[in-house]
Chain A
Amino acid sequence: MRIGFPRALYYFDHFPFWAGFFHRLGIEVVTSPATHRQIMEQGLKKASDETCLPLKLLAGHIQALKDVDWIFLPRIVSVEADTYTCPKFLGIPESLLPAVPPGMPVLTVTLNWRKGKRQVLKDLEGLGVQLGKSSSDVRKALNEGLEWQKRYQDSMGAGWDFEESIREIGRAAKDLTESAKVPTLVTWKERMFAKMSSTALKRTAEFPIVDQNRDRLRIALVGHSYLTHESYANLNLLRKLREKAKVELVQNVNQEEVKTNLFGLRKKLFWSHSKQIFGAGNKFVADQSVDGIIYLTCFGCGTDSMVQELVSRKAREQHKPYMVVTLDEHSGEAGLVTRLEAFLDMVERRRVHEGYVSTYGECLDRNSNAL
């Protein structure tokens, strides 16, 4: 049995969990190819006009899944206690049914971690019944999925690359099926690190910059995982940035650090992604070694409309260079490159010339640095 998993939206956060889950159940998971022009166009045709770019891409990826028995569209209501995901996640799969090719069955399950692990298990057992699996199988699969997810999250160190680690997971899965034994955590991690260091070496060979870490700018890229890692939709922003600067990502900040940085709010944020974005954003603002912050958002993103405002306020208070890039399906590459270059020039200039700015007068200083 083959299950189609679209490479969009929750893929970037939760794919390891589902990969582990289905792997344990002995079901093959097929992902759609990386986004290309046709996928985007198909998505634009089928998705509702008002919705945001990531959902339009998801609609495209659904149509790009070929030769599968089911299309898997989970309703991820919440991934941790006291938070929700975006309301648009809650409307999946119903809001995307128009994009599903006629005759293709959709497999769905509601995942709500707010209600605790027992409820999640119960819902997954419901899914298991559909797939003809016993509840003990499902329980084992759930634990396997959680373990994969944990490994994935633990590996989010510096120099971590999303696509690379996903490929690694895929390879690990293949090895598993071949050797039919569970690899220990150590070997899996070791392989991972070996792979990582080799890619890091390759990168230095490609861009031979002497004393990379000291001279290069450090730029924090803040935004949802499904925008920062979606290299087609964000016009390769991440790679472009990496060529010119050292990039910090929100997704690489660990949960403890996020938690300690959630200050300055009288009310807890109730979206899990936004919590991560705000906490990590706060950390980057306070971090003196980060030279500038780029907030990547997409047109019509509801949670960002609030959180971007909060992060920008923090950045302004600390006089941190800050830029908002808003993506939509019409984003032009030249425009992005121009803005990126201007921003990086500005940051670099500030770094070099900051000492020459006259500090005379309070107002002068305030206004000259206000962004």
Chain B
Amino acid sequence: MKVTFPHMGNAWIVIQTLFESLNVDVVVPPFNSKRTLNLGTKLSPESACLPLKLNLGNYLEAANAGADTIVITGGIGPCRFGYYGEVERQILRDAGYNYDVVTLEPPDGSMAGLAKRIRFLAGRKNSWVKILKAMRFAYLKSVALDRVEDLIHAARPRLPHPLHTEKLYESAKQRLAQTMTEKGVQDTVRWVQETIRERQEGLNSMAEGINKPLRIGIVGEIYTILDPFSSVGIEEELGRLGVEVDRSIYLSGWVGSHIFRGIAPGYRSIRSYPRHAKPFLPHFVGGHGLETVGAAVKFAREGYDGIIQVFPLSCMPEIVAASVLPKVQETYKIPIMTLIVDEHTGHAGIQTRLEAYVDLLERPRLLRESIQTREGVLGVGG
């Protein structure tokens, strides 16, 4: 048995760790690319949402590497992601791929059924204690990953060489993927912290990049905000434009609420969002629609300069959120931009919109400064 799974941003590091510490053969599919998307789009229903198309592409590419079992999480709606497993199984079967699809969820609410599925994946040799330990370690890794990601978010607008920052991020991810001890995980986070500090100290304090950067909160559908390929690298792009980015949901927060049912909160807990959303949307709408609204309110209250909502075309919960967000925008006087991505999204189009948006956010600041100087000049002349 060779297990594979769909990509979602950095999730591969966590899933790979989980299976490797249980000595299960795992195939990490090639990273999301144009090719992945093309392969997936050919098989998918045309009006399916972007994650399904990328998932199918991942499976096809993983099949070339010998994978024969797919692991995917489930859910009982009402977001259509809960039904991905079954639809993907039928599509792959008809396309001639002989995959076993294991959906990690309690089938019809039966925990025994879930245990059976985990047992099927882990094999007979692993004891339950070992499985739980492996899950705990994978979870710790996901928290560390999120911490690194957050550090990079803060570093991007402040450090002078964007390329160096990206390199740091890549090598931190590599280190995290390879280490199999808790100490190694902690050391990596510390290493990233220290490297950033060193680089910042090397800067002349009056040089550019020290200005307080704009802060933008990214909210929206979890797959598109976690996966840089599907959102066309929006975070990196914003970082390069001198913006500090924060995000509503991090991987471990999702893992904590979705898989551990809130036993572990994750790096950024998503628990407080429903409370924030309440005046605007008092009921869950499936997926992360409620969290999107809640996070937007939270960002607005924390004084962020702008909010960007990202979701795949035709995403049902996010459409509900998108029709509520104008009210948030009005209440808190914060500009909210909506970006909808699908398989036709081009890099240049997104880049243009982001630049325009950042310009718009910077304008009030510049205007304020220029008015002040004019007053100063007038004061001197008068």
A-side interface residues toward B, CB under 8 Å?
47-48, 50-51, 75, 77, 82-88, 90-91, 94-98, 110, 265-271, 297, 299-306, 308-310, 313, 326
B-side interface residues, number (CB < 8 Å) = 45
- Are B78's CB and A270's CB within 8 A? yes
Note all chain A residues with C-beta closer than 8 A to B78: 84-87, 90, 270-271
In chain A, what residue has the closest Cβ to B108?
A268
- Are A302's CB and B316's CB within 8 A? yes
Check: B340 CB closer than 8 A to any chain A CB. yes
Other-chain contact of A91, B289, B314, B326, B340 (Cβ < 8 Å): B289
Other-chain contact of B323, A98, A309, A313, A326 (Cβ < 8 Å): A98
Which one, B44-52, B233-241, B368-376, is touching chain A?
B44-52
Count, A-B residue pairs, CB within 8 A: 122
A sample of 6 more A-B contacts (CB under 8 A), given A51-B319, A310-B87, is A84-B286, A91-B283, A91-B319, A94-B320, A269-B83, A302-B315
- Are A302's CB and B80's CB within 8 A? yes
- Are A299's CB and B316's CB within 8 A? no
- Are B85's CB and A91's CB within 8 A? no
Note all chain B residues with C-beta closer than 8 A to A50: 313-314, 319, 322, 340
What sequence of 0s and 1s flags, for each residue 103-116 of chain B, a beta carbon within 8 Å of any chain A beta carbon?
10001100000000
Check: B360 CB closer than 8 A to any chain A CB. no
With A and B bound together, what is the CA distance between A97 and B324 in angstroms? 9
Other-chain contact of A305, B77, B314, B319, B322 (Cβ < 8 Å): B314
In chain A, what residue has the closest Cβ to B315?
A302
What sequence of 0s and 1s flags, for each residue 78-96 of chain B, a beta carbon within 8 Å of any chain A beta carbon?
1110110111011100100
Check: B76 CB closer than 8 A to any chain A CB. yes
- Please judge, given known A-B contacts A90-B286, A309-B91, A313-B90, whether A302 and B320 are in contact too, CB under 8 Å: no
Other-chain contact of B324, A75, A95, A300, A313 (Cβ < 8 Å): A95
- Are B323's CB and A51's CB within 8 A? yes
Other-chain contact of A306, B87, B107, B283, B317 (Cβ < 8 Å): B87
- Are A267's CB and B107's CB within 8 A? yes
Check: B281 CB closer than 8 A to any chain A CB. yes
- Are B107's CB and A309's CB within 8 A? no
- Are B48's CB and A313's CB within 8 A? no
- Please judge, given known A-B contacts A267-B83, A300-B47, A306-B87, whether A75 and B316 are in contact too, CB under 8 Å: no
- Are B45's CB and A98's CB within 8 A? no
- Are A87's CB and B283's CB within 8 A? no
- Please judge, given known A-B contacts A88-B316, A271-B77, A271-B78, whether A306 and B45 are in contact too, CB under 8 Å: yes
What sequence of 0s and 1s flags, for each residue 49-64 of chain B, a beta carbon within 8 Å of any chain A beta carbon?
1000000000000000
Check: B285 CB closer than 8 A to any chain A CB. yes
Check: B280 CB closer than 8 A to any chain A CB. yes
What sequence of 0s and 1s flags, for each residue 327-371 of chain B, a beta carbon within 8 Å of any chain A beta carbon?
100000000000010000000000000000000000000000000
Check: B266 CB closer than 8 A to any chain A CB. no
* Nearest CB of B to A126, in Å: 13
- Are A270's CB and B90's CB within 8 A? no
Note all chain A residues with C-beta closer than 8 A to B314: 50, 300-302, 305
- Please judge, given known A-B contacts A51-B319, A84-B77, A267-B83, whether A308 and B108 are in contact too, CB under 8 Å: no
With A and B bound together, what is the CA distance between A159 and B373 in angstroms? 79
With A and B bound together, what is the CA distance between A222 and B80 in angstroms? 20
Note all chain A residues with C-beta closer than 8 A to B324: 91, 94-95
- Are A301's CB and B47's CB within 8 A? yes
Check: B287 CB closer than 8 A to any chain A CB. yes
In chain A, what residue has the closest Cβ to B317?
A87
What sequence of 0s and 1s flags, for each residue 289-322 of chain B, a beta carbon within 8 Å of any chain A beta carbon?
1000000000000000000000001111101111
Can you identify 18 A-B contacts, CB atoms within 8 angstroms? A77-B283, A86-B78, A87-B289, A91-B317, A91-B323, A94-B281, A95-B323, A266-B86, A266-B89, A267-B103, A299-B47, A300-B47, A302-B49, A303-B316, A304-B47, A308-B45, A309-B90, A313-B94
Check: B191 CB closer than 8 A to any chain A CB. no
Note all chain B residues with C-beta closer than 8 A to A83: 77
With A and B bound together, what is the CA distance between A61 and B153 in angstroms? 46
Note all chain A residues with C-beta closer than 8 A to B40: none
* Nearest CB of B to A264, in Å: 9
Note all chain A residues with C-beta closer than 8 A to B283: 75, 77, 90-91, 110
* Nearest CB of A to B123, in Å: 22
Note all chain A residues with C-beta closer than 8 A to B128: none
With A and B bound together, what is the CA distance between A303 and B47 in angstroms? 10
Check: B256 CB closer than 8 A to any chain A CB. no
- Please judge, given known A-B contacts A302-B80, A304-B47, whether A309 and B87 are in contact too, CB under 8 Å: yes
- Are B94's CB and A305's CB within 8 A? no
- Are B317's CB and A305's CB within 8 A? no
* Nearest CB of B to A106, in Å: 13
Check: B242 CB closer than 8 A to any chain A CB. no
Note all chain A residues with C-beta closer than 8 A to B315: 302
- Are A303's CB and B320's CB within 8 A? no
With A and B bound together, what is the CA distance between A180 and B76 in angstroms? 46
- Are A270's CB and B317's CB within 8 A? no
In chain A, what residue has the closest Cβ to B44?
A309
In chain B, what residue has the closest Cβ to A110?
B283
Note all chain B residues with C-beta closer than 8 A to A51: 319, 323
Check: B260 CB closer than 8 A to any chain A CB. no
Q: Which of B283, B289, B321 has the most CB of A within 10 A?
A: B283
In chain A, what residue has the closest Cβ to B105?
A267
In chain B, what residue has the closest Cβ to A99?
B323
- Are B280's CB and A94's CB within 8 A? yes
- Are A270's CB and B48's CB within 8 A? no
Note all chain A residues with C-beta closer than 8 A to B47: 297, 299-301, 304-305, 308, 326
With A and B bound together, what is the CA distance between A370 and B330 in angstroms? 53
With A and B bound together, what is the CA distance between A273 and B49 in angstroms? 20
In chain A, what residue has the closest Cβ to B324?
A94
